[in-house]
Structure 1
C-alpha cells in the first residue's frame, strides 16, 4: 500500500483501502507533526501504515498543498505592506521575502499544478514556514531563496 492510498478524495488523510488506521497513529501524527516534518525533510524512509506514513500522506494531500501555497502568498503580501496584517503574527523578513518572490511564485505554481508532490519537499516547505528563527522571519537568518529552490527541487 502506498502513502497515496491513505489520502481521501476530499484531501483528508484516511485509509481508503479498508485498512484500519489506529487512533494512536492519528494522534501521533497531530502531536508530533514537527518531528515528522523534520524526519521527512531529511529523507527518512516512510513505511506505509505507520504514523510517519500517515503524516507523509497528509503532507501530499491537495488540502495541505493549498494551505502551504496560501501561506506563502500571505507572507509575500505581508512583506510588501508597511504594517503587519495582524499585530500578533511574527514579522516576516521583508528584504528576504521580496528578494525571493520569484522562488515563492514558482513554488506556489508547482503546488497548484496537477503533478504529484513529494513528502520531503512539502516537509521542507512546512519547516521553512514554521521556523520562526529561519530566513523567512525578521529575527531569522539564512538564504530564503536557496531554501525555497531546494524545496522546489524536492517537490
Structure 2
C-alpha cells in the first residue's frame, strides 16, 4: 500500500506571477484585444470558457477579478441602490433604472457588495456574469429591459 503523504519540502512555496518566467506574459496584442473585445470575452467567461495563459481571455479574466475592478463594481452597485432610493421623478442623463426590480433585488445586491469587499478571491465566471448584468442595456436592471434581476444577480453571486 502506498503512502500518499506530502513532505513539507515537496510543496511549492512560490506562486507564479506575471513577472515570473513560469507564467506566460501576455503580449500587447492580447492586452489590446482584451480591452476591445471585453463584451465578447465576458460572454465567453460567463459560460466557463478556458483561459489559456497569455491570451486575451486570460487578460480579461485577470482584469475582472482584480481588486480595482471589484471595488469599482461594488461602488456602481452602491450608486444603483442609492439612485433608486432617491426621487424617481428627478431628471437624469443616465439610462433609467428599473426601480421595482432594483428594490426587489436589494438584498442580493447587498450580498454581492459584501462578497466583492471580502478578502476571498472571486471567479472570473461570476464577475463576467455580474458585469453582463450591469452593462446589458436591454436587461432587467434598466427600465425597458426584460428578465429577472434578482435571479441573474443570484446566479452571478453563486458563480463567484
Gaps of 5+ in 1: 7-14
Gaps of 5+ in 2: 1-14
Task: Count how many residue pairs are aligned between Structure 1 and Structure 2.
Answer: 144
How much has 1:20 moved relative to structure 2? Answer: 3.7
Q: 1:144 — aligned with what?
A: 149
Q: 1:16 — aligned with what?
A: 19
Tell me which of 66, 70, 86 is aligned to 2:71. 66
* Structure possessing the higher radius of gyration over alpha carbons: 2
Secondary structure at 1:78's aligned position in 2?
helix
Tell me which of 37, 40, 46 is aligned to 1:41. 46
Q: 1:91 — aligned with what?
A: 96
Secondary structure at 1:124's aligned position in 2?
helix
Q: 1:11 — aligned with what?
A: none
Q: Is the 8 A contact 1:84 1:91 kept in 2?
A: no
Q: Is the 8 A contact 2:19 2:25 kept in 1?
A: no
**Runs of 4+ in structure 1 over 2 Å off:** 15-21, 83-86
Q: Is the 8 A contact 2:126 2:156 kept in 1?
A: yes
Question: How large is the RMSD of aligned CA atoms in angstroms?
Answer: 1.8
Q: 1:57 — aligned with what?
A: 62
Q: Is the 8 A contact 1:78 1:85 kept in 2?
A: no
